Chains A and B, each alone.
Chain A
Amino acid sequence: MFALGPIGFTAPWLLLGLAALPVLWILLRAVPPAPVRRRFPGVALLLGLSDDETQTDRTPWWLLLLRMLAVAALIVGFAGPVLNPQAERGGSDPLLVLVDGTWADARDWPRRMDRIDAALDAAARNARPVAVVTTTELPEGSPPFRAADSWHSQLPGFQPRPWAPDARKLTEWATGLEGAFDTFWLSDGVERPSRAPLLTALEKHGTVTVFQSPRPILALRPARFEDGAIALSVQRASSGVAAEATIIATGLDPNGVERDLARAVAEFDAEATEAQVRLALPPELRNRITRFSIQGVRSAGAVTLTDDSLKRRQVALIAASDDREGLQLLSPLHYLRQALEPSADLVEGALMDLLLANPDVVILADVANLAPVEQQALLDWVNEGGLLVRFAGPRLAASDVSRAEEAPLMPVRLRAGGRTVGGAMSWGEPKTLRPFGEESPFHGLAVPDDVRVSAQVMAQPDPTLSERSIAALTDGTPLVTRKGVGKGQVVLFHVTANAEWSTLPLSGLFVRMLDRLAIPSRVARPSSDALAGTTWVPQDLLNAFGMIEAAGTRPGIPGEALARGRPGPDTPPGLYAGEDRRIALNVFSDDTPLSAAKWPARIAVEGLDVARERLLKGWFLAAALAMLALDVMASLWLSGKLRGPHAGLAATMVLALVLPPHMSRAQTPQDDARAIAATTEVVLAHVVTGNPEIDRVAQAGLRGLSQVLTQRTSVEPAAPIAVDIETDELSFFPFLYWPVAADQPLPSPEAYARLNRYLRTGGMILFDTRDADISRYGGGSPAARKLQQIAAPLDIPPLEPVPQDHVLTRTFYLLQDFPGRYDSRDVWVEAAPPDARRAEGMPFRDLNDGVTPVVIGGNDWAAAWAVDENRVPLFPVGRGYAGERQREIAYRFGVNLIMHVLTGNYKSDQVHVPALLDRLGQ
């Protein structure tokens, strides 16, 4: 390809056409523009006049230049210019495109794909066979070299994996390669021990070129709970500049919607590769967090899932009520509080109240008898998976609970009275603990020597006693017993929770035993021993882009694999659920190293940037066309055709070429101001009819009504607003007054849609035909016919004349007439449902709920209401005192109407007042 700087040409020979341009110049120069023929009577006066200048028969030089440039652009355009033509990489050997394909790749995976695309294009031009391989998903045997084009369709199938390549397998694969080939290695930029051997192996077969993105690699270590706050650590591969990373805590909100619950900013010092941030959150919020992620980084390494280690369990502590005040150290709950406070949320109170909060654990310290209701509720709760821990004590020893037969909430039957050993009045020494057996959940805990038990409640020997006993004294009597109830379990400590009966609560063993019982929150990750033999089922899986995917029906993994803490193809990162807890397997664990990849100096490392080939042919041809269009205009102007008889037409065409095709109508700030004005206060509104006189009267009428409302009621409307139903938002207005003018245009379909929405969502329109003096409702007056046309597409329910018991007759004033300037009885509202009937003894029917969406009449209410700025009525109503009375009733109708709009059927509900009073009386 012939290239000039960054531009190459696909058909360079066409450029020879440029040599013809000077010839064209001379030709064009010699041909003057064609003359205009004009009929002109004044030609008689022109006869004999000669032109002063003779040079204008030549085309002006700038027009020539324009034409030359247009032709040159055409020639260049057809010569196929290409910006950034891809320099060919030499070599005809097969090409191995090796992609790391790890989580660190995910952040700019599309760019990697683009780079591979470009490499495939280049290889296709050179007919090199290509193989594309990711290190996280190695092919069996040697790489599949194929024609480059066939890889294009497969590229979307390559996805990064959220784990690092298996070093051993990778080395094995690399040593097994055969044949000569060059390698393009798209590195993810993270240093790994497997890199050096792989590089050595690849270099044996040909040159290796490394492509690596300079973008920083960020990773998030698992969140830890430290000193009441969540500690997060962000790692980066390369230091050098100060930077910051925003960490987002994501979880389900109380509605079950996943959202960002908190965020914090971690700041890297210039030389640091690690940034710490602490996030102090309320426990309720903290328990909801399911994962942390670094904002803007699409990579599984930047996401860390939280498991139970961040959760705080809720423990309900209940002691028998005691009347001994002030003896804190003797309180049965003191040692439990001390032991559990750092790692659990403690709640105390009445049992029934606490059960409503659904705690994870309920601890009953020396509570013997429960009310039947309490017992049943507690049993249900245990059946649902609750853990009930009971401690013995004097009350339990003295009670008959679980004496003759086993109580459902006790693991064993108890013998009466219990026993005391080593006291002043008894034989023998206080007992110590026997080492825990293998079946015991306490197995492995060291038994300190100083734990002494001086009193306990005794279990009745039962066939099940030995299996229910999980801790025993040296003499074999059970100290802790347990049984399963439904999904939950009941544990009984045969001693008190305070130091009265034993020194156990004073020792560290007490805390560890509670821990083993999973009473406190799990702060530490279980050891691999603890996980051995267990099976963990994935619940949520993390893909390389840091997205959560449903695990589907993937099989469980053994606990040993989970304990290794290293994600791989068999153990994808995600959240795994075990028997009683969940463990997160994160891509980036506490000890995963992160540093930038180092390459030997002999290896060429390139960025991922691909200067894409850009065909410029279209641009050149477009430029040529634009110049020719310009030439047309210039020629017209030169030859005087832009002036003269047809100048207007020509100018229009020129403008049409120059101006954008249409001008968009922007939303003006006045719209917002208007919306604010309409919504800060109650505003009455009227529809603009287009007839200025009617609009003025409507405005004045609503002004008068607003003043009356302000004087007499608690409704204090602002100045009324004129509403254009074609353009204005209607939902701000509870009430629209619509004077119907005979010459009013019909609303557009969009306006009808909005009007219908307005009516459906509770708006009210008062239609006023203003012709009740000459026409009755349904009559043939022009305004009435117009109203029929306007209302036909509206969503208006069946109507009826206002019935005597309509709520409109009593929302504020008691009215039966609704006069305006004219006094017609024809006022129509939404019809009552046909089954509305009057209850016995009630003055009103039990009418429909809601507000009638329309009120239709012709009494010209606005004219009766209308006042000028000095509050003087604008129009006379009736005659004399009777007229003023009619105006007063008109105002009262307006007040009733607005009250109806604003309070709905509130007055209608008064029908039920006797019934309500009757019910309250009971």
Chain B
Amino acid sequence: MTEAAALRSRAEGLAAALPPLLADAEHLAATVLLGEHGRRRAGMGDEFWQYRPAHPGDEARSIDWRRSGRSDAHFIREKEWQAAQSVLLWVDDAQSMGFAGDGTHGSKADRARLLALAVAVLLVRAGERVGLSGAGLPPRRGALQLFRLAQALGAVAGTADYGAPEARGILPHSRAVFIGDFMGDLAPVEAALAVAADRGVKGAMVQILDPQEEAFPFDGRTVFESMAGSLRHETLKAGDLRGRYLDRLAERKAWLSHLARLAGWQFHCHRTDEPAQSALLWLYRALEPVR
């Protein structure tokens, strides 16, 4: 009884802040037509996959006698492998994600959380286990996990200027999704990818950028400061820097893409003025089983 009461009070507290996020995510996820999400290979599961001739070594109890009775050979009924996969999400919660550009779009953090939760909704519906990397939330399944995820994603943002992907707690051979802006130092990214590659983890990296970060529409004498104020750069003619800034940005994207390819990951860059669905669709395809 006390547990239920606590759960209810927590749920209500959650509902106060999180349901919009969750609802948005559900709404977004609903736009993706959930297709056959089996593993498309034989394994543990409920659905019929195929009959195959019995080989030596197969257990006798696995023989499907009804099928075998119709022919001379013995057949084994294979089920489709439906073992749940673990997917670990990492969402950048650094200050830089709070940048909202000219205010016509939401902040990058909003978009990142929305994407993460939407993909979580899809995965949970497909029966996967979803969690957050790091010590936060181990992968679990079920709708309750969605509430937990929403709660964790809506928690107070970090204080660091730029976030670093968290590779801790990633289960071997699981899947991982990193969502962030990757504007800070790239060394932690490389390290995290290396850890993931070591553990045989495949995944996807989504870089969320604001349109202003892609366009650099500044001019005149300007002092640029990072969101937390740790970095500072003064220029007398911001317009002159645009070309070089854009070069560096392109270089960074290329490097991230390269890193991802090395680790067997996929990389996508998403701008906050684009519809979230495109990013979700890309992410959904990226998480489809790799053969």
Contact = CB atoms under 8 A, between A and B. Distances in A.
Interface of A: 32-47, 49, 51-54, 56-57, 638-641, 643-645, 647
Contacts of B220: 33, 35-36, 638-641
Interface string B202-214: 0000000010110
Contacts of B236: 32, 51, 53-54, 56-57
Interface in B5-53: none
Contacts of B101: 645
B235 A39 contact: no
A53 B237 contact: yes
Interface in B229-252: 231-241, 244-245, 248-249, 252
Given A35-B234, A39-B225, A57-B236, A644 B181 contact: no
A35 B249 contact: no
Contact of A644 (B96, B102, B249, B252): B102
A423 B248 CA distance: 147
Contacts of B234: 35
A33 to B, nearest CB: 6
B103 interface: yes
A42 B223 contact: no
B240 A51 contact: yes
Given A47-B233, A644-B102, A645-B102, A42 B221 contact: no
Top 3 closest A-B pairs, CB basis?
A640-B220, A640-B219, A41-B96
Given A49-B235, A56-B237, A57-B236, A38 B223 contact: yes
B284 interface: no
B269 interface: no
A763 B212 CA distance: 64
15 contacts: A32-B236, A35-B234, A36-B222, A39-B226, A41-B99, A41-B162, A41-B181, A42-B183, A42-B216, A44-B185, A45-B245, A46-B224, A51-B240, A645-B102, A647-B102
Most buried by B among A38, A43, A639, A640: A43
B184 interface: yes
A640 B245 CA distance: 17
A641 B222 CA distance: 10
A56 B219 contact: no
Contacts of B248: 45
A310 to B, nearest CB: 85
B180 to A, nearest CB: 11
B69 interface: no
A52 B97 CA distance: 30
B233 A43 contact: yes
Contact of A46 (B181, B235, B239): B235
A616 to B, nearest CB: 37
A14 B238 CA distance: 42
Contacts of A647: 102
Nearest to A44: B183
Contacts of A34: 221
Contacts, number: 116
B222 A640 contact: yes
B240 A52 contact: yes
Given A35-B223, A57-B236, 8 more contacts: A32-B221, A33-B221, A40-B99, A41-B226, A46-B241, A52-B240, A640-B219, A641-B220
B255 interface: no
Contacts of B65: none
A47 B241 CA distance: 11
A468 to B, nearest CB: 113
A36 B223 contact: yes
Contacts of A54: 236
B102 A41 contact: no
B219 A643 contact: yes
B191 to A, nearest CB: 18
Interface in B120-150: none
Nearest to B239: A640
A324 to B, nearest CB: 114
Contacts of A638: 220
A800 to B, nearest CB: 61
Nearest to A43: B224
A638 B218 CA distance: 11
A41 B210 CA distance: 10
Contacts of B226: 39-41, 43-44
B227 interface: yes
A42 B97 CA distance: 11
Interface string B93-112: 00011010111000000000
A46 B245 contact: yes
Given A44-B183, A49-B235, A38 B221 contact: no
Contact of A38 (B97, B162, B224, B244): B224
A44 B99 contact: no
Most buried by B among A40, A44, A639, A640: A40
Contacts of B237: 51-53, 56
B71 to A, nearest CB: 67
A198 to B, nearest CB: 78
A202 to B, nearest CB: 75
B189 to A, nearest CB: 13
Contact of A40 (B219, B225, B240): B225
Contacts of A37: 222-223, 225
B240 A643 contact: no
B56 interface: no
B275 interface: no
Contacts of B103: 645
B221 A57 contact: yes
A38 B225 contact: yes
A644 B244 CA distance: 19
A32 B236 CA distance: 9
Interface string B251-267: 01000000000000000
B57 interface: no
Contact of A42 (B102, B239, B245): B245
A33 B238 CA distance: 13
Nearest to B219: A640
A643 B233 CA distance: 19
Contacts of A49: 233, 235, 241, 244-245
Nearest to A635: B220
Most buried by A among B185, B236, B252: B236
A636 to B, nearest CB: 9
Contacts of B249: 42, 45
Contacts of A641: 220
A45 B183 contact: yes
A53 B226 CA distance: 24
Nearest to B231: A43
B241 A639 contact: no
Contacts of A47: 231, 233
B237 to A, nearest CB: 5
A35 B233 CA distance: 12
Contacts of A44: 162, 183-185, 226, 231
Contacts of B97: 41
A648 to B, nearest CB: 8
Given A45-B249, A641-B220, A643-B219, A39 B99 contact: yes
A57 B102 CA distance: 26
Contact of B233 (A33, A41, A46, A640): A46
B94 to A, nearest CB: 9
Contacts of A643: 217-219
Nearest to A54: B236
Contact of A45 (B102, B235, B252): B252
A868 to B, nearest CB: 45
Interface in B60-119: 96-97, 99, 101-103
A40 B221 contact: no
A167 B219 CA distance: 85
Given A640-B238, A644-B217, A38 B181 contact: no
Given A33-B220, A34-B221, A644-B217, A53 B240 contact: yes
Contacts of A52: 237, 240
Nearest to B241: A49
Contacts of B210: 41
